[in-house]
Amino acid sequence: MNYIKPKIFEALKDYNASKLTKDIISGVIVAIIALPLSIALAIASGVKPECGLYTAIFAGFFISLLGGSRVQIGGPTAAFVVIIYGIVQKFGTNGLVVATIMAGIILVLMGILRFGTLIKYIPYTITTGFTCGIGVTLLAGQLKDFLGLKMDSVPADFIPKIVAYSKNIKTANLYTVLVGVTALAILVLLPKVFNKIPSSLVAIIATTFLVKFLNIPVATIGSVFGSLSSKFPTFSLPDFDFDMIKSLVSPAFTIALLAGIESLLSCVVSDGMISDRHNSNAELVGQGIGNIMSGLFGGIPATGAIARTAANVKNGGRSPISGMVHSITLLIILLLIMPLASLIPMTTLAAVLIVVAVNMCDWKAFARLIKSAPKSDTIVLVLTFLLTVIFDLVIAIEVGVVLSAILLMNRISSVTNVNSWRYIGQDDLDPEEKQSICTLPKEIRVFEITGPLFFAVADKLSLIDSKSYTKVIIIRMRSVPSIDASALKILNGIVSKALEKKIKIILSHVNEQPMNALKKDGLYEKLGADAFRNNITESIEYAKTLI
């Protein structure tokens, strides 16, 4: 089971006091960065502010302890906000807990089954499309609190949400907007002057003091959610039944897939920063257990947070200990000073998430893909983006993956061809091959197949035909890397018809995978070993002896 062995065992082999000191310092700094984000992401997801901290504490701890990266920082991320909000609206917080635990179990199974390497098969166009879509949706979700709109509830879907905002725009609170703009200015300008100071923390402290001491009439966490609990989170099993589990299968798979993609992308980024190589399957197991623990202690879905992981590396973190310290620090904050968080203005948290949403949307990459990518990739990109914004992430990923697979098969099928030598230019043939062609009797027909043979191109094999005077058909397969069952079936039919007409079949230069498939299918035995030749010259010479 070494393939799911946590990275901490490797990291602690040469551990010392100096590394411990750096990990502790980095862990504390990352916790300070994670504090406002965890609270803001929980509120944006439609759950209590404390739930964000529970997630960072428990999921973050176990992702670091059992994951496959030295420096990964786990916790709530903006990528989950849209899907979490939808689950809460439909199934409540109990349903969210069930979905989180289910996603964790799926992630553990993915790691055990070595699915870590399969994440790379999710196209870049899909990840770019849904990431930008999530950013737009997240930004739209903050407008109510940022503007101080007086609304009973906000619709979960994007278009109804925008319609509701437009109907209530006259209820915007000028004081709320001014505080939000102040926070936004700090968030944007401070990093340009002091990039080592967490701008989100400064914005929260500054605007909280401003609102408190000037008695500015704006909504705060306390006025919306009441007093915040500073108790240690309690372990509890959610209520569930088979119907609920069946309804949550699709959202749970989406959470698991999204957690897997984002965590492994974060690992790849951090690998480049510390010159290390993560264990993808161990990371999936760690992510899974982290999500299970998060759900059992009242948290929300978690994954590797790229920005927090990068901050960990930049501040000296080099082992999973820094991630565990980050979680312990947040637990101490929860137990000691959590009630003070009730003073934070809601518009400030909205401003923090607006900046996060803007940073999520890599519009440069989006525009570059539209400009330079093939038309099929552009279709997948734009469709994934629109489906994420207008409907939800579940539909976007499902449609995006299926469409990408169809377009990929179409692209591969376009490079697979079956040609008679009569139609092939002979410039790329060596002299011996040219001589063979020049002296080729008309009773011998040669067909060359290029590209993989699979169900989408199997019909092209029907181009292999015979004339009334044909006695031998040579099928040249040097450029066929693979063959599937559909192509085998059609090839079997061609061979059977040829043998009925007393026409000999010779297969030239059959590669390893097709050869194994032909032997398992029985076609090798049907034709006989003599029908398989190493190259075209040998095949032609043998064909001449047959006629």
Per-residue pLDDT of 192-233, as tens digits, reads 888 778 888 899 999 999 999 999 999 999 998 888 888 899
CA distance 350 to 140: 10
Q: Is the pLDDT of residue 88 over 50?
A: yes
pLDDT at 424: 42
Last residue of a domain, one of 361, 383, 409: 361
Same domain, 26 and 170: yes
Q: What CATH code is carried by the domain that includes residue 455?
A: 3.30.750.24
Same domain, 353 and 426: no
Q: Is the pLDDT of residue 423 over 50?
A: no
Q: Is the pLDDT of residue 321 over 90?
A: yes
CA distance 409 to 167: 47
Run of H or E including 304:
strand 303-304
Range of the domain at 104: 2-234+259-361
Q: What is the mean pLDDT of residues 103-107?
A: 97
In a domain, residue 172? The reply is yes
Structure tokens at 438: 């020049």
Q: Can you give the length of the chain in residues?
A: 547
Same domain, 341 and 433: no
List beta partners, residue 446. 474
Q: Is the pLDDT of residue 426 over 60?
A: no
383 or 391, greater pLDDT: 383
Q: Give me the residue label for tokens 């411990």.
A: 20
The count of structural domains within the chain is: 2
Same domain, 125 and 191: yes
The answer to whether 89 touches 317, Cβ cutoff 8 Å, is no
CA distance 397 to 408: 16
Mean pLDDT of the chain: 89
Q: Is the pLDDT of residue 438 over 60?
A: no
pLDDT at 439: 63
In a domain, residue 287? The reply is yes
In a domain, residue 406? The reply is no
Same domain, 346 and 450: no
Q: Is the pLDDT of residue 419 over 90?
A: no
Same domain, 305 and 438: no
Task: Give the SS3 label for residue 420.
Answer: strand
Structure tokens at 264: 């492994």
